[in-house]
Structure 1
Amino acid sequence: HRPAACGGCENVLAQDAEAVGFSWSQVFDLPEPRLIVTEHRMLKVRCHCGHITRADHPHGVKAPTQYGPGVHALAVYQLVHQHVPCLRTATGAADLHGAHLSEGFAHTALDRAASHLAPFSERVVALLQLADVAHFDESGIRVASSLHWVHVACTTHLTWYKAHAKRGKAGMADAGVLPYFTGTTVTDAWSSYLGYGTAGALCNAHILRDLDGVHHTDPTGQQWAKAAIDALTTANDAAHAAREAGREALTSDEITSLETQFDHAVRVGRSTNPDPPPKAKKSFARQLVDRLIRRREDILRFLHDLRVPFTNNQAEQDIRMTKIQMKVSGGWRTLDGANRWLLVRSYLSTARKHGLNPMTVLRDLFAGNPWLPPAPA
């Protein structure tokens, strides 16, 4: 771009006026939407014997006209990663890319994606079974207008979802990870998780919320709850600082000091909330104190093993995406349909955790080359 006139004297600038430099601006934009059509011609060749042989179709090309891996990837990306309903997925593909899809095409694309993910499901379940620390959670969903449960097993690099009619051990067994898991589980206080893994850690976000509720209800009478909150947050800060410094563990003196602070608060809570009269129901504060005593080792496990996080936020964040799908669609018509959606969601979530583009791994999937999470070194 050349200026037309001088900004000083306002004279017209000659075309051969000396250029002494430039400034620049960049505009990022999208091209006009269009489909790229690739035509494959399978030659027919006559042999000297008179027989005519036609070349085979390339891999993945089966019909006179069809949509390719990119269009299939777009439909599944919208349905599963962005939680867009089928009709809007079809409309969006036409508006944005000139691909006039039907709702049936979108459904079929999702089914095709799930059918190619058997190697992925085997790999991710096996890796989760071998993980040192893994997070587990469950949440209610609607399938065929009835309550079902989606179970999640995950780490910072892996995600696995499975829907089941039961919330407890039957659903956990069907998911395939917990019955064979030998590491440390990070869970909420749901009793069905007891007995799995070699060690368990409780989500301290739940503990802090319960302690805050007890203190908020009676700030004067339940001061111990605030002291317990302070003890846990101080311990979490110490563990976080140790990890940031590259340390493998806290010292025994550090652990003893932090545990003593927590134990003192719990003892005060025990004396503040004595045993109720016979047949009387325990107050929530007393129930919480009993849980802190009963599950002390699991609550404080993050101090003894710095690989164990303070909360179960990883599982809660991963399972939250299924709740978004529930808000959009209201549920699934069949359990098989729910598990197909969840299988593809597991694939995309795991790929995203490895820094991969979801459209890229979906395109690879439909091109016959599904991505697999790497095995540990």
Structure 2
Amino acid sequence: MGRSDLERLSREELIELVLRLQRPDKTSRTSSKPPATDRKERRERSKPGGAKPGHEGHSRVMRDNPDAVVDHQPDRCACCGGDLHGDLPVELVSVSERIELPAVTPVVTQHRRLAVQCPSCGMRVVAPVPEAARGTPFGPRLHAVATYLKTFQALSYERLQAALSDLFGLSLSQDGLMNLLQRAQWHFRSGREEAVSTLRRAAVIASDETGVRIEGSNAYHWVFHAADAVVHTASPTRGAVVVREMMDGHRPAVWISDRYTAQQGHAAAHQTCLAHLARDVAYVVEVSDDPIPWRLQLWLQTVFGLAERVTDLAASTLAAKRRTLDRQLGAILTTPSRCDLTRDLQAKIGRARDQLLVFLAHPGAVEPTNNGSERLLRPAVVQRKMTNGYRAMWAAEGEAAIRTVVDTARLAGHSPFGTILKTVGA
């Protein structure tokens, strides 16, 4: 805006412009920005981490089946110097453990084909090629370890190469690692297809997406999840076509997501993430003296409090509370305001008004926030920050298939590495 533009502004417009310029930047508490983008001084004023006062402490649990037990019994009395022979009765005073990792070295098995001459006819007979000698020389556990480190510990090819060399004494080229990982990813295709099939039968589905670099271009990592399935997928687009292809005509009862347009209209009802709205409201409360955002914040706190005990209340009670909350929200949204931020907030919430309390009609089955999707996307975000994305689309799609199988197995309590080893070794 130039000088001539400023001269044409009225006194009220100039005051509003100055107030806008003085507004603080948004933070992770008042927007969807990650905590790492917060200013240093804000982090310095934040509350310290660690256990809060009154928190019950926990200690490591002793193993019931240790590999070895060593008893330490005194052999001489500290008072009189008398001999304490080994058959005296003893009592257990304390137990401590020392835990150590064994030295891990590769187990190399050479398969040698031998030939013998038949004593009857003199023919030279060669042993057939053993199954272990066909294909790759690397076994399932090595494939599983490399896949786990690459996918879930976000190691680049260079760092993965160094880790295998330093920890296990294995010398592999980066091309060899790429081929190894590609072979491992192939084993996860059927598991991904099964998870997609389960997802397409779900009544409640949540989704979200985050940016990622694939083959040097901007792309997106999507996640879809239900009660018994999680599906990750890589796509060059953020459009609704990704959702339509994933659902293949299935239309669940409820869809949970943020207010992004491509996430809308895929179910009979939609639950908008209230955590996103709460951050938007917190920003306006922080920068404005208008009481309307403060009323919205109190309203959201009431909703979150009700969500914590939604499964303890009868359906009639939930319906009555929903009517009351909707009536209160209507009064807040129709209250006039001179603050532009408040008016924008009222319009934003008004457009999603019928999507805010859907979870009350499905107690225990629908969450009021989309935090579950964000938690499932967090490892992919870490991977993006650590490695700057994927060199090829097959790598992005392969890791999405691995995350699909592992995160779906997690719903049943299975560990990531155990799932990877079982899948690769199948």
Bucket of the pairwise TM-score, normalised by the shorter protein = 0.7 to 0.9
| 8 A Cα contact 2:205 2:226, kept in partner | yes
Q: Secondary structure at the match of 2:130?
A: coil
| Closer/same/farther in 2, CA of residues 253 and 157 from structure 1, 3 Å limit | closer
Q: Is residue 69 of structure 1 aligned with residue 140 of structure 2?
A: yes
Change (3 A) 1:157 1:44: farther
1:84-107 C-alpha deviation (Å, 9 max, x unpaired): 112222222232233333322322
Q: Does 1:108 align with 2:179?
A: yes
Query: Which residue does the alignment assign to 1:207?
Result: 277
Aligned CA distance change for structure 1 residues 3 and 290 (closer, same or farther; 3 Å): same
Indicate the SS of the match to 1:100.
Answer: coil
Aligned with residue 408 of structure 2, among 346, 350, 355 = 350
Would you say 1:129 and 2:187 are equivalent positions? Answer: no
Farther-moved stretch of structure 1 (165-174 vs 133-142): 165-174
CA deviation digits over 1:157-185, x for unaligned, max 9? 432122222111233334x2375342311
Distance 1:81 1:364 in 2: 16
Further displaced range: 65-74 or 228-237? 228-237
Change in 2 beyond 3 A, CA 1:9/1:102: farther
Query: How much has 1:144 moved relative to structure 2?
Result: 2.5
Alpha-carbon displacement from aligned partner over 1:49-82 (angstroms, at most 9, x marks no partner):
8684735623x5416x822111111111100011
**Using the alignment, how far apart are the partners of 2:113 and 2:423 within structure 1?**
25
1:216 aligns to 2:262 (yes or no): no
1:88 alignment counterpart: 159
Partners of 1:152 and 1:160 within 8 A in 2: yes
Contact 1:133 1:155 in 2 (8 A): yes
1:133-282 alignment runs, 5 A limit: 133-174=204-245, 176-177=246-247, 179-219=249-289, 221=290, 223-243=291-311, 245=312, 250-273=314-337
Contact 1:116/1:365 (CA < 8 Å) preserved in 2? yes
Match of 2:7 in 1: none
CA contact (8 A) 2:310 2:360 kept: no
Residue 350 (structure 1) shift? 2.2
Q: Unaligned regions of 5+ residues in structure 1, if any?
A: 275-281, 370-377
| Closer, same or farther: CA 362–288 of 1 in aligned 2, 3 Å | same
Change (3 A) 1:42 1:185: farther
Aligned residues: 351
Residue 240 of structure 1 aligns with an amino acid whose one-letter code is E
Q: Partner of 2:238: helix, strand, or coil?
A: coil
What is the CA-CA distance between 1:325 and the residue it aligns to? 0.7
Paired with 1:213 and 1:349, the residues of 2 have a C-alpha distance of 34
Q: CA 1:14–1:256 in structure 2 vs 1: closer, same or farther (change >3 Å)? A: closer
The answer on 1:303 being equivalent to 2:360 is yes
Unaligned runs of 5+ residues in structure 2 are: 1-71
Q: TM-score, normalised by structure 1?
A: 0.83
Secondary structure at the aligned position of 1:347 is classed as helix
Letter in 2 for 1:234: T
What SS does structure 1 have at the residue aligned with 2:102? coil
Deviations 1:228-256 (A, max 9, x none): 3322332332232132x4x6xx4334433
For 2:385 and 2:329, the matched residues in 1 are separated by: 41
Question: 2:326 and 2:285 mapped to 1: Cα distance?
Answer: 16
Change (3 A) 1:251 1:352: closer
2:383 to 318, 325, 344: 325
Determine the C-alpha separation between the residues in 2 that align with 1:173 and 1:83.
30
Aligned to 2:15: none
Computed over aligned residues only, the root mean square deviation of the Cα atoms, in angstroms, reads 2.8
Matched, 1:335 2:393: yes
- Match in the other structure for 2:130: 57
> Structure 2 counterpart of 1:224, which letter?
I
Q: Distance in 2 between matches of 1:25 and 1:78?
A: 32
| Structure 1 stretch displaced more, 99-108 or 297-306 | 99-108
After TM superposition, the structure 1 stretch with the greater mean CA deviation from structure 2, 31-40 or 141-150, is 31-40
Residue 38 of structure 1, CA deviation:
4.2
Q: Post-superposition shift, 1:194?
A: 2.0
Decide which of 341, 348, 372 is 1:291's aligned counterpart. 348
